[in-house]
Structure 1
Amino acid sequence: MANTRSLLTGIALGVGATLAARDVLPLLAPLARPALKQGIKAALLSYERGREMAALLVETLSDIAAEVQVELQTQGAGDPTTVNVRIES
């Protein structure tokens, strides 16, 4: 009996929400477009900023790798399997 009552309550709420949405959605549509545009604009700006940061990271890592290669080539007289590491502060 309780399950039937819950089911009927759920159906009634669903029908009521559908009827209310039919009247409310046209009123909200003009507000939804600017909000959607703002959301897309924010996403595109974030994406572009992320691309810039990734490019900067790749450039920095490339510079560091080039510096390490030069250091390894200048150390060439030693054993190639041994790397001397200096930590500068």
Structure 2
Amino acid sequence: MASFEARVSSKGQLTIPAELRRDWNLQEGDLVEFTRLADGRVMVRPRNLPVAALFGLLSHLKADPAYASDDEAIAAQVVMDDKATMTVRKRSRAA
């Protein structure tokens, strides 16, 4: 895993390392998104891709043959999630 450093300027600006700019095809004016994760880490990603670049991104996903429709699969997941939270709630009340 590669690691990069950047120094913060007096104006609070960062210079993105050249290798990352090349990899991400960043040009002047492109957006970069910073997301703070629950564990305190920060995820950085370029926001310079056009919507058309996302076409086909999920084409490798196939429907689950166990369900007749997406609605049926979603309903089954909601029921499983509900049962899981009820189990947790019952355990915490018994304590």
Q: TM-score, normalised on structure 2?
A: 0.33
Greater share of residues in strand: 2
Q: TM-score, normalised on structure 1?
A: 0.34
